[in-house]
Amino acid sequence: MTVNNMADPRRPNKIFRYKPPNTETNPTLEDPTPDYMNLLGMVFSMCGLMLKLKWCAWIAVYCSFISFANSRSSEDTKQMMSSFMLSISAVVMSYLQNPQPMSPPW
Amino acid sequence: MRHLVFLLPALLLLLALPDTRGRYNDDFDDGEDIAEFDDNDFAEFEDVSEDPAVDVEKEPPPRAAPSSTPIEDDEDEATVENEDGQDEFEDADAQDQDMYSKYDNEEFEGYEKTNPSFKNTLIYREVPAHLQNSWESYYMEILMVTGLLAYIMNYIIGKNKNSRLAQAWFNSHRELLESNFALVGDDGTSKEATSTGKLNQENEHIYNLWCSGRVCCEGMLIQLKFLKRQDLLNVLARMMRPACDQVQVKVTLNDEDMDTFVFAVGSRKAMARLQKEMQDLSEFCGDKPKSGAKYGVPESLSILSEMGEVTDGVMDNKMVHYLTSHADKIESIHFSDQFSGPKVMQEEGQPLKLPETKKTLLFTFNVPGMGNTSPKDMDSLLPLMNMVIYSIDKVKKLRLNREGKQKADRNRARVEENFLKQTHTQRQEAAQTRREEKKRAEKERIMNEEDPDRQRRLEEAAQRREQKKLEKKQMKMKQIKVKAM
């Protein structure tokens, strides 16, 4: 009884639909990490492929993983997959060209 | 006897050295004979004639080495090999030794010096690591792969933890939300406005929930901003700098639901930061944040307000009770009718238009646990949601008195004037460029016009317009002059 005395605050006639916030007008809201990591990954994999540096290729793999972990669900999976494949191919090519193991920098 | 057998051919060869090879090739058709000669009798001597230096060098070591073997036994295998070589020499070419025993030791005194260098020039190449057939040499690669596996493991674990926390939060708050809002959960994509009844996953660490259909408000967006537990780098960074999960609630109101005021209360750090960052707080609440102790709230909280009356109106007993009992979980509470988000930095300087404002209530709560939260901790946020609902109803009822309203209106007018002044020059420039663009477009149109008649007519029309404008300007100047006088 007491529950019915309190007016029900719900108003089905006053429903507004959800509008995703416009990130163009407010770029500070967006997290730039996945984009940076994507770019970095591509740069490192190109370096690894061109200059035949194994450590570059490995860092590229890490970058693409980090980018994937931080990505938004609305983002294109194709972009993720392409950067991932590029970094894996950089690693594979470096080892095919020079099967010697990587030497540590120290 | 054997010596004589070999001496004779040797003498022959030595006498006819330059021609021997050629003659042998030309004169002897019988291949077998050649072979016989090459292999058995003359082979060693041919070697002697071809490379006298090498042979001479080869022979002394066997003679010198036996005397020095005890010394060189400790050194590397070179000595051993030489000794083996010596043995070979001795076995196969015993005759040679006998032959060379004729030579004096004195003749080869100088060669002893070359012996050590001969032994030292033997270089042992390292077998390349990838041919060594041992996995140990690839330890860096194994380390890298292990790191990747660790990252993947952490991703899965972190993702699951965040998901469980979100679900726990929603389960504990579902009842309250469903009793207050007609629409709970909407992603904006479905045709009809039906409650999805679940959270909208934006990220592996951000979950959204949109609720709508209530008196006093347009809608409420709840964002569960968890820590990036799925990213190993972030996990490691958090070990240095602890942070906590946050729940952000943004209630958007209709125009009639709120009077005109700006107010904020929260932790001291948060208030200092918001005053600098937020457009409306920096414009309307110019004073430094006041300590909450004056209003019966813990010291840790401070208040930013447009005017004292607003603070008195908002901080009633129930609100003070809420704030006191949950002070540790409150990061910031921000009520504003002029909310436009954080200050936007534009490259050209100031934006040309006043940013759009919306009547908003913003709440940011910290989840207890400082990162090590468990799903049970989500229940402790329920009273805070009750506070949110209470605030919505309260703000609707809160009305400023006449004085307060006048003050508020004056403040808003002042802010707008300031803004217009600052952008005056820029707006002028923008108008100028627009006018020039128009002129250029007209001229281009005239030039592109093929028909000469039409061209003439358009030109004349443009000239007339220019003339009119000039006349208008002149009239205005005259008027101003008259007024001034």
Give the range among B46-55, B215-224, B307-316 with minimum mean pLDDT. B46-55
Chain A residues with beta carbon closer than 8 angstroms to that of B181: 10
With cut-offs at 50, 70 and 90, classify the pLDDT of residue B13: low
Q: Do A11 and B182 touch (CB under 8 A)?
A: yes
The pLDDT assigned to B81 comes to: 45
Q: Do B215 and A11 touch (CB under 8 A)?
A: yes
| pLDDT > 90? residue A91 | yes
For residue B7, CA distances in Å to B10, B13, B18, B55, B196 come to 5, 10, 19, 18, 112
* Rounded distance between C-alpha atoms, residue B36 and residue B54, angstroms: 24
Mean pLDDT of chain B: 80
Interface with A, mutate which of B132, B133, B139, B141 (most A CBs under 10 A) = B141
The pLDDT assigned to B8 comes to: 65
Chain B residues with beta carbon closer than 8 angstroms to that of A90: none
Q: Does A104 touch chain B (CB under 8 A)?
A: yes
Q: What percent of chain B has pLDDT over 70?
A: 73
- How far A78 CA sits from the closest chain B CA (Å)? 17
Q: Does A24 touch chain B (CB under 8 A)?
A: no
The pLDDT assigned to B425 comes to: 81
Q: Return the bridge partners of B424, or none.
A: none
pLDDT tens digits along A3-61: 444 678 888 888 888 888 776 556 666 788 899 999 999 999 999 999 999 999 999 99
Predicted-complex ipTM score: 0.90
Question: Phi first, then psi: what are they for B364, rounded to 5°?
Answer: -125, 120
> How far, in whole angstroms, is CA A29 from its chain's centroid?
16
The pLDDT assigned to B448 comes to: 82
* Rounded distance between C-alpha atoms, residue B118 and residue B167, angstroms: 80
- For A35, counting Cβ atoms within 10 Å of its Cβ (0-12 exposed, 13-18 middle, 19+ buried), the class is middle
The pLDDT assigned to B376 comes to: 87
The pLDDT assigned to B351 comes to: 60
pLDDT tens digits along B239-250: 999 999 999 999
